[in-house]
Structure 1
Amino acid sequence: MARKWLSIVGIGEDGLQGLSAIARSLIEQAEVIVGGDRHLAMLPPDDRREKITWISPISTSIEEIIRRRGQSICVLASGDPMCYGIGVTLTRHIPVSEMTIIPAPSTFSLASARLGWSLTEVETLSLNARPPSLLQSYIYPGARLLILSEGKDTPAIAAEILTKRGYGGSKITVLERMGGIHERIVEGTAASWSETQIAALNAIAVDCIADAGVAPLPRLPGLPDNAYHHDGQLTKREVRAITLAALAPTPGQLLWDVGAGCGSISIEWLRSHVRCRAVAIEQNSSRLHYIADNANALGTPNLQIITGKAPHALKDLPTPDAIFIGGGVTALGLFDICWQALHPGGRLVANVVTVEGEQTLFQWHEQVGGNLTRIAIQRAEPIGKFLGWRAMAAVTQWVVVKP
């Protein structure tokens, strides 16, 4: 078995005295101590061991740790190192077989205990070093959210997002320095939030309450068309739902959205699960702005946006698990590049509305098979004082799984 030379010890606001005997022993036996200024300050003033303080970028500090592989090193962390913590980052670089990880209660566990909320029935997220617009995709009537803050300003930012979204009546509870002698709880509502004297170390609990008449945005594919800003290049709601079902997003998988338009397909792919990833490729400059605006408004700010025309813009992108082609199917060489890029078992879905596009899809179908489907949607619209059916442009969809 690999020697466990690296230990990661979670510490609460009660400091070293709150640690178990095993955790204290790991700290005492270490030759090198790693941590932020706050954690290193918990050590005795006469502690002469080598210290490594986290610096930006954090990869530099991780390289310092790896260079000392074999020495006894202890990393001091906040709460549970494997809950949005440094432990997650370190396990991406160092085998867990070389580590001992001792967690303290996480911020989420402490907050649940204070509020009496079941931790398995709440939504948890971190806004620490992450875009605040991530919050958008977690908001729905009755949701209970536990949020890791970036600092003292995060509660006000969250309150503003909730209010603008139509959830101004939501109850906000800010929990400061949980587990220590300076613990404090501040309560209010999103629309009336005005508290400015907030400790930098805080967590936010939100009980989401929708204003009267506010319609929730579903998590399932097929958001209302008016949820998007666009110039007409929008995969309509019904077709979008069918397309996402064909793409079959799975947590952790990567989508290429080729000819992304306003980004609706990649955005709803990302909304299906927090671990999904997507790249939107678009050449039209005004549509690129639509994609960015829609991604922020709908809680998917991590959507990667690539400027360029396929197939040239597809070079050097990470290997996708699924590809959607919503525009430019007639571009020379596009299918070959997409097909080669896909993982075995990967899915390719293409939608077209033109005869030329259909001809291209038929040629691709002749090469590798798959299924061709014609999607025809009619919506009831006023005709004078009556209602009549207005047909949307029929969409031909090709779906294929790479063997």
Structure 2
Amino acid sequence: MCKVLVFAGTTEGRKIAEFLDSQSIPSHICVATEYGEELLPKSGHMTVSHTRLDREDMERLMVEIQADPVIDATHPYAAEVTKNIRAACEKAGCRYVRLLRSSKDGGEKNDRAVYVSSVDEAAEYLKDTRGNILVTTGSKEIAKYTVIPGYKDRVFARVLSLANVAEQCAAHGFEGRNLICMQGPFSKEMNRAMIEQLDCKYLVTKMSGTTGGYQEKLDAARETGCVPVVVGRPLLEEGISLSQCRKMLCSQFALCPPKEISLVGIGVGSPMLMTAEAQQVLEKAELVIGARRMVEAAALEGQDVCIEFDSDKISRYIEEHPEYEKIAVVLSGDVGFYSGARKLLEKLSGYHVQIICGISSLVYFMGKIGKSWDDAFITSAHGRKANLVAAIRTHEKVFSILGSSDGVSALAKKLKEYNMDRVRLFVGEQLSYAQEKILTGYPEDFVSYTGDALSVVYVENETYVPRPATHGIRDEEFVRDKVPMTKEEIRTVSLAKLGLLKDSVCWDVGAGTGSVSVEMALRAAEGRVYAIEKKSLAAELLLKNKMKFAADNLTIVEGEAPEVLRDLEAPTHAFIGGSSGNMKAIMELLLHKNPRVRIVMNCIALESVAEALRCLKELPVTDTEVVQLSVGRARKAGPYHMMMGENPITIISCTGDIR
């Protein structure tokens, strides 16, 4: 039976061995030491050996286990071993795969080392530095370090404990505490203790590989902040990464490993505000996915990343890359606060997904300005329509995420336009970053303001007066002239029959003074209302009432129906207060725009009632209802109150039927 043969001298080698074991793939792992063997899992799918092999031994092993493939995950400086593995593969006819080290695990990109070609070049480099130097390149070229200014005090030479070696070094001025005669090998801990004891800022070493204790020196230098000066340059190799190797094995053995997917809220921006749990998940992740700003803030150096924020593309990428078992999708703020996590959870429903909470902009900003937010109205205008004016008018405290550089100024202009000058604004930009800015003022202070798109606003309405939760504004509150107006009681019943939702798209055909339009706009605060009126005087009154009630989501459309209706967005609800004899054409257009539209008609004349009833019979509608409402109002007549009847109104309602 064929086995995967791995020569594992690096972290990547151990990880690929663990991957093979987790997938129950028969494998043989060759390691250099007993310690390396101890690090690997013990199972029936894997055999492990730490016996050193020459080329002939490797060839025999490959033939014996029918190796396919042979994965070379040895140290990049073990050039002789790699040469033997390649030659053995060629002789045995085996497929050779070179698994490269990740830069985050000690490669040239990440290790702070200075690479030079010779001891002469090392000495030249060190001439322009300050601080003590530990030299571990031996005694043969020790004289070359004498070019370093103050070398007798700065340079500490570690050499073999032989009399002739000590004499040779002393002849060049290396003696006393600056000459360390010791026999290796030296552990990382020994190297670290020596660097710290001598307060060395630089360590000179040759690229000697495992037998020369090279890695132990690099590790000690990294932990102490000492800069390694390495004589010899890293090999420039061609090969594949750990993730590419996993992908190759998944394809070869038709694997689909279970995935651990984490949706990680990384906070408002600064890494200091990322939770310990989020950091722990990110450290273990094999792949980090997210928008560029999020990935740049969260991913570790050398980590595989995918720059993407579209939930469909993210789920497709995960499906197309089975080689990743631990995946972190990074999201700004908290995953439960206006985040893309909701859509992602739907798309990733077939996987095990864990949620990692973060610190939201709301929590951070309100803490910064010292305000409570448990009683605030919370919304977002980032990538969505938000009727902030209506929210501010109807709430004492409002918090919103903004999504454009002119978001603050646009809000300030609207507040002034609707005479809402006495609301106080708190604006936060680039939260948690070095450029963080927090400003406060009134609308007039922000009308010309250009800020950062990454901003939030908190508004306190000092003039807030609670209004009834239901519809039913008193008639006297509207601006009126000689234009007809749907009266309060009729309006209340008609709106009840409409059954508006908070995000409804409404048409008010024959809007008159706009009493119904305004009530619609206030109740459907997250929706949009179109008030259609053919008379100029009525359109002027409509505008006045829109401004008075700060109905920012109300659009006035001047013209005659149905012609002016054709280019409007499809309504979810429609109120017909006047049709000018075009009732059927208007209803046909409504049903064409939205076959499920909810319609309420108010009729005074009997002819209008007859026309509406004919429409109910001829058009595809259901849930029909006819209600006649007669309202009497008491008026004072001397010492008495007399009931005076208003014209009866017939309220006809129906819903589009698509059966």
Both structures adopt the same fold (TM-score exceeding 0.5): yes
C-alpha distance in 2 between matches for 1:46 and 1:95: 27
- Is residue 148 of structure 1 aligned with residue 404 of structure 2? no
Tell me what 1:11 maps to: 266
- Is residue 137 of structure 1 aligned with residue 393 of structure 2? no
Task: Say which SS state the counterpart of residue 329 (structure 2) adopts.
Answer: strand
Distance of aligned partners of 1:337 and 1:181 in 2 relative to their CA distance in 1, 3 Å threshold: closer
C-alpha distance in 1 between matches for 2:525 and 2:394: 19
C-alpha distance in 2 between matches for 1:319 and 1:159: 30
C-alpha distance in 2 between matches for 1:108 and 1:230: 46
Tell me what 1:202 maps to: 455
Tell me what 1:170 maps to: 423
Distance of aligned partners of 1:220 and 1:17 in 2 relative to their CA distance in 1, 3 Å threshold: same
Tell me what 1:57 maps to: none
Q: CA deviation at 1:49?
A: 1.9
C-alpha distance in 2 between matches for 1:303 and 1:26: 49
1:3-402 map, 5 Å: 6-13=261-268, 15-27=270-282, 28-36=284-292, 38-43=293-298, 46-47=301-302, 49-54=304-309, 61-70=310-319, 71=321, 73-90=327-344, 94=347, 98=351, 99-130=353-384, 134-140=387-393, 143-180=396-433, 182-193=435-446, 196=449, 198-210=451-463, 220-223=470-473, 232=483, 235-251=486-502, 254=504, 257=507, 259=509, 261=511, 265=516, 268-274=519-525, 277=527, 280=530, 298-299=550-551, 301=553, 320=572, 324-328=575-579, 331-332=583-584, 348-361=599-612, 370-376=625-631, 394-399=648-653
C-alpha distance in 1 between matches for 2:552 and 2:444: 24
Supply the RMSD in Å over aligned alpha carbons.
5.1
Q: CA deviation at 1:26?
A: 4.1
1:326-345 per-position Cα deviation (integer Å, ceiling 9, x unaligned): 344864487799899777xx
Amino acid at match of 1:205: Y
Tell me what 2:145 maps to: none
Q: CA deviation at 1:16?
A: 3.8
Q: CA deviation at 1:324?
A: 3.6
C-alpha distance in 2 between matches for 1:106 and 1:250: 29
Amino acid at match of 1:349: V
Amino acid at match of 1:191: E
Distance of aligned partners of 1:225 and 1:347 in 2 relative to their CA distance in 1, 3 Å threshold: farther
C-alpha distance in 1 between matches for 2:443 and 2:528: 31
C-alpha distance in 2 between matches for 1:368 and 1:281: 25
**Residue ranges of structure 2 left out of the alignment (5+ in a row):** 1-257, 636-641
Answer whether contact 1:319 1:342 (CA < 8 A) is retained.
Answer: no
Q: CA deviation at 1:105?
A: 2.3
Amino acid at match of 1:78: S
Q: CA deviation at 1:79?
A: 0.7
Amino acid at match of 1:127: A
Q: CA deviation at 1:230?
A: 11
**Residue ranges of structure 1 left out of the alignment (5+ in a row):** 55-60, 381-387
1:290-328 per-position Cα deviation (integer Å, ceiling 9, x unaligned): 9999889844549899x99669x79xx9795x5544344
1:183-233 per-position Cα deviation (integer Å, ceiling 9, x unaligned): 4432222334478475543221111123xxx99887642456876899947
Q: TM-score scaled by structure 2?
A: 0.45
C-alpha distance in 2 between matches for 1:110 and 1:151: 20
Q: TM-score scaled by structure 1?
A: 0.68
Q: Which has the higher helix share?
A: 2
1:49-89 per-position Cα deviation (integer Å, ceiling 9, x unaligned): 242245xxxxxx44422322434553322212332222245
Answer whether contact 2:334 2:360 (CA < 8 A) is retained.
Answer: yes
C-alpha distance in 2 between matches for 1:48 and 1:216: 54
> How many residues end up aligned between the 2 structures?
378
C-alpha distance in 2 between matches for 1:290 and 1:10: 49
Answer whether contact 1:34 1:52 (CA < 8 A) is retained.
Answer: yes
Q: CA deviation at 1:351?
A: 1.0
Task: Say which SS state the counterpart of residue 379 (structure 2) adopts.
Answer: strand
Amino acid at match of 2:374: T
Task: Say which SS state the counterpart of residue 121 (structure 1) adopts.
Answer: coil
Task: Say which SS state the counterpart of residue 187 (structure 1) adopts.
Answer: strand
C-alpha distance in 1 between matches for 2:646 and 2:539: 25
Distance of aligned partners of 1:96 and 1:136 in 2 relative to their CA distance in 1, 3 Å threshold: farther
Amino acid at match of 2:602: N
Task: Say which SS state the counterpart of residue 279 (structure 2) adopts.
Answer: helix
Answer whether contact 1:247 1:349 (CA < 8 A) is retained.
Answer: yes
Answer whether contact 2:423 2:443 (CA < 8 A) is retained.
Answer: yes
Of 225-234 and 172-181, the range deviating more from structure 2: 225-234
C-alpha distance in 2 between matches for 1:81 and 1:101: 7
Distance of aligned partners of 1:217 and 1:18 in 2 relative to their CA distance in 1, 3 Å threshold: closer
Distance of aligned partners of 1:32 and 1:77 in 2 relative to their CA distance in 1, 3 Å threshold: closer
Q: Which has the higher contact order (CA 8 A, sep 6+)?
A: 1
Distance of aligned partners of 1:227 and 1:235 in 2 relative to their CA distance in 1, 3 Å threshold: same
C-alpha distance in 2 between matches for 1:162 and 1:278: 18
Answer whether contact 2:264 2:330 (CA < 8 A) is retained.
Answer: yes
Task: Say which SS state the counterpart of residue 119 (structure 1) adopts.
Answer: coil
